[in-house]
Amino acid sequence: QQKVQQSPESLIVPEGGMASLNCTSSDRNVDYFWWYRQHSGKSPKMLMSIFSNGEKEEGRFTVHLNKASLHTSLHIRDSQPSDSALYLCAASINYGNEKITFGAGTKLTIKP
């Protein structure tokens, strides 16, 4: 069964700083990665997706993907207190009836 590993488990970043989160899949058949953000007591909300090697930027958020190493990373620049949340990485495999597997998450705290 595919595993999605995220690191670090928790991260504290000063307001205005850069947060870097990592995610690796154990399955070579992974095709797609998503990043979700989950504020405390709320449901996960999809933040960004990446399917091809390289980099994708949306506002303060940048994701990288290296398919050879099955590694994706999420970088948040100019971090704000509202960015404090659990960040979940999800990976999908194309078996035809694929399910999406989530990692355990990185708990990000932005300190004012």
Partner 1 sequence: DPKIIQKPKYLVAVTGSEKILICEQYLGHNAMYWYRQSAKKPLEFMFSYSYQKLMDNQTASSRFQPQSSKKNHLDLQITALKPDDSATYFCASSGDINNQAPLFGEGTRLSVL
Contacts with partner 1 by CB under 8 A lie at: 31-32, 34, 42-46, 49, 51, 88, 90, 92, 94, 97-105
| Residue whose CB is less far from partner 1, 5 or 20 | 5
- Least distance to partner 1 from the beta carbon of 99, Å? 5
- Least distance to partner 1 from the beta carbon of 76, Å? 19
What long-range pairs does 10-14 form, CB within 8 A, spacing at least 24?
A: 10/106, 10/107, 10/108, 10/109, 11/106, 11/107, 11/108, 11/109, 12/109, 12/110, 12/111, 13/76, 13/79, 13/108, 13/109, 13/110, 13/111, 14/79, 14/110, 14/111
| Residue whose CB is less far from partner 1, 8 or 14 | 8
| Residue whose CB is less far from partner 1, 14 or 48 | 48
| Residue whose CB is less far from partner 1, 27 or 98 | 98
> What are the angstrom distances between the C-alpha of 23 and each of 16, 34, 81, 88, 93?
23, 10, 23, 9, 15
- Least distance to partner 1 from the beta carbon of 64, Å? 18
- Least distance to partner 1 from the beta carbon of 78, Å? 25
